[in-house]
């Protein structure tokens, strides 16, 4: 029996902050890049499993706007890893009913990486199964700023009145426009903070934290998080 059949409620959108790659490598006396390679393999396994059990939308935090401050050699290694795994996605996700979208400002990435993102997003756009959002060079504050700037430009051009701006309009100017807000956000690694991830969208998300470093994360850990979510009483500011 699938975990989805087991549970009385199931999230429409799950977010995962893939954290702990560097610490996983350090514990083993390996370079941080080895942790990122291990973490990327887990991402693939968890993404395919999420699609298999019927999670409609999955968003993974791969690279934040703040990650550029890491040592240059680590950033370079990440760019090479992204390229490898995007090429792998063309081969291994092409026969899956998964629509892949990229959240964040890709303009600063190397040209080859940008072209891979464009190719994957374009060729998977018509798929009706799970939507997989990969947040790369993403920051929640930057996303909201981008949305507000776009609305301000529309007001300046006379195409929009300030009084017309509401929460729904702002949501429709975010990278996740047209998608449900996350019901569940998972953060492995023992850290208990949101780290600029889906700030607007996570207003009423349930959070599950645990002490598992991301490269050690398994499908059983995801099942356990889904069970924990099913036990929560979601009130959205009201009373039940």
Residues paired with residue 99 on neighbouring β-strands, in sequence order: 131
Residue 154 in any domain: the answer is no
Residue 197 in any domain: the answer is yes
pLDDT for the residue numbered 240: 60
Q: What CATH number has the domain bearing residue 123?
A: 3.40.1180.10
Residue 23 in any domain: the answer is yes
pLDDT for the residue numbered 44: 93
Low-confidence ranges of the chain (pLDDT < 50): none
Residue 199 in any domain: the answer is yes
Q: What does the alpha-carbon distance between residue 34 and residue 40 come to, in Å, rounded to a whole number?
A: 10
pLDDT for the residue numbered 89: 81
The pTM of the full predicted model, rounded to 2 decimals, is: 0.94
* DSSP letter for each residue of the chain: --HHHH-S---SEEEEE---HHHHHHHTT--HHHHHHHHHHHHHHHHHHHHHHT-SEEEEEEEEGGGGGS-HHHHHHHHHHHHHHHHHHHHHSTTSSEEEEEES-GGGS-HHHHHHHHHHHHHHTT--SEEEEEEEEE-HHHHHHHHHHHHHHHHHTTS--GGG--HHHHHTTSTTTTSPPPSEEEE-SS--S-TTSSTTTTTT-EEEE-S--GGG--HHHHHHHHHHHHH----TTS--
Residue 148 in any domain: the answer is no
Residue 213 in any domain: the answer is yes
Indicate the number of domains in the chain: 1
Q: Which residues participate in catalysis according to the annotation? A: 19, 67
pLDDT for the residue numbered 94: 78
Domain that holds residue 24: 7-142+182-228
Residue 177 in any domain: the answer is no
Is residue 25 within 8 Å of residue 67, measured between CB atoms?
no
pLDDT for the residue numbered 78: 86
Q: What backbone torsions phi and psi does residue 186 show, to the nearest 5 degrees? A: -110, 135
The sign one gets for the Cα dihedral 131, 132, 136, 139 is positive
Residue 209 in any domain: the answer is yes
| Burial of 31 from C-beta contacts in 10 A (0-12 / 13-18 / 19+) | middle
């Amino acid at each position: 029996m699938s975990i989805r059949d087991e549970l009385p409620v199931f999230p429409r959108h799950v977010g995962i902050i893939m954290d702990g790659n560097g610490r996983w490598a350090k514990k083993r006396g390996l370079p941080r890049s080895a942790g990122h390679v291990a973490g990327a393999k887990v991402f693939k396994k968890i993404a395919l499993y999420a699609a298999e059990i019927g999670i409609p939308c999955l968003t993974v935090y791969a690279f934040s706007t703040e990650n550029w401050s890491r040592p240059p050699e680590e950033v370079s290694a990440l760019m090479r890893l992204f390229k490898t795994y995007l090429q792998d996605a063309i081969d291994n996700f092409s026969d899956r009913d998964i629509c892949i979208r990229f959240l964040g400002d890709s303009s600063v990435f190397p040209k080859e990486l940008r072209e891979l993102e464009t190719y994957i997003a374009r060729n998977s756009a018509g798929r009706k199964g799970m939507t997989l959002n990969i947040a790369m060079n993403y920051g929640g504050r930057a996303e909201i700023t981008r949305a507000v700037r776009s609305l301000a430009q529309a007001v300046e051009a006379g195409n929009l009145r300030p009084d017309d701006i509401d929460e729904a309009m702002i949501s429709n100017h975010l990278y996740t426009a047209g998608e449900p807000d996350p019901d569940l956000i998972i953060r492995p690694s023992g850290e208990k903070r949101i780290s600029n991830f889906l700030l607007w969208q996570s207003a009423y998300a349930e959070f599950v934290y645990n002490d598992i470093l991301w490269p050690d994360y398994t499908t059983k850990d995801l099942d356990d998080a889904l069970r924990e979510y099913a036990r929560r009483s979601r009130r959205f500011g009201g009373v039940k």
